[in-house]
Structure 1
């Protein structure tokens, strides 16, 4: 089982990366091999290849203008879905978890935007609920509170369980975007 985390923030090692790393730690505790990719310095083709090779993906972003980052939008817009003449579908048959970070609890609904794109546009099985951490979920920039770390780790373990279930189901693995 391979789980890749995609950090859509502009700063490597920021709060979003910290939260994704905690989810990946939970996935690793459940037996998965994990990798964290920071979009700020990554090549699009390399990130798409990592998604294609993974069983599950953790997509994370800070909130900007009430939604996920332009870096993450660019990745998703550059990821084919096997429709309209596209030759690849790296997200087909995959599962994902979402991690959104923000300054306050006022932006927690931004996680719905990312969930809707993944589930509706790419036909990804998205773990519910998505994670949202505001500044109160952190001790400092690189340390989650104990409660936040435990919650993130449980999401990582649940993501591995969901990926195992989807991989074991021919019907779930075969779902494709409708349009």
Structure 2
């Protein structure tokens, strides 16, 4: 199983990067990799997304939504639903969402990303998403409790991915439009 972490922060090595790394650390038995949109071109990231069984999408919260870098990735991702599209980058993929924000009250910012992944791309998205705020960090590193929380999301993502891979009915689900 391949699990890819995609960091949608304009800052390399920041809190969002640490959150995604924490989830990947819990993906026991899976091959993991992490790419940052701040220093990796979109085509490379999309190729890696297409090759992955599961993807952890991480973003800081901006204006109650995910980052423009992550939005640019999704604007370039094909669904294989139109005659002009030759790929379906996220087809059959499971996903997890990691959002970093200044206050716990901003947890609803993950809803737009989860909705896009599940509704538009047809991903099976791990619930609940992981929202990390200032108390979850010591500088840019996860606290011990936050690292365990993130790792538990990684373990759950691996389990979800195995369940989806084992169900022909779930794998057959596709976006309606």
* TM superposition score normalised by structure 1: 0.96
Is 2:91 the counterpart of 1:97?
no
| Deviation of the 1:8 alpha carbon | 0.2
| Deviation for aligned residue 1:24 | 0.2
Aligned to 2:3: 3
Task: Spell out, residue by residue over 1:30-70, the C-alpha distance to the aligned partner (whole angstroms, 9 max, x if none).
Answer: 20010010001111111011001100000000001110000
C-alpha distance in 1 between matches for 2:172 and 2:55: 17
Residue of structure 2 in register with 1:16 after alignment: 16
Is the 8 Å Cα contact of residues 102 and 134 (structure 1) preserved in structure 2?
Answer: yes
Where in structure 1 are there 5+ consecutive unaligned residues? none
Aligned residue among 152, 156, 159 for 1:154? 152
Q: Offset of 1:106 from its aligned partner?
A: 2.5
Runs of 4+ in structure 1 deviating by more than 4 angstroms, as ranges, are none
Within a 5 Å distance, the mapping from 1:20-169 to structure 2 comes to: 20-27=20-27, 30-85=28-83, 86-141=85-140, 143-169=141-167
The answer on 1:170 being equivalent to 2:158 is: no
Question: Could you tell me how far apart the structure 1 residues matched to 2:142 and 2:136 are?
Answer: 6
Cα distance in 2, alignment partners of residues 50 and 15 from structure 1 = 22
CA distance in 2, matches of 1:39, 1:6: 7
C-alpha RMSD over aligned residues: 0.8
C-alpha distance in 1 between matches for 2:66 and 2:172: 28
SS of aligned partner of 1:97? strand
Give the number of aligned pairs.
Answer: 176
Does the CA contact (< 8 Å) of 1:92 and 1:175 recur in 2?
no
Aligned-pair distance for 1:89?
0.7
Q: Contact between 1:7 and 1:20, CA under 8 Å: does it hold in 2?
A: yes
Range that drifts further, 124-133 or 103-112: 103-112
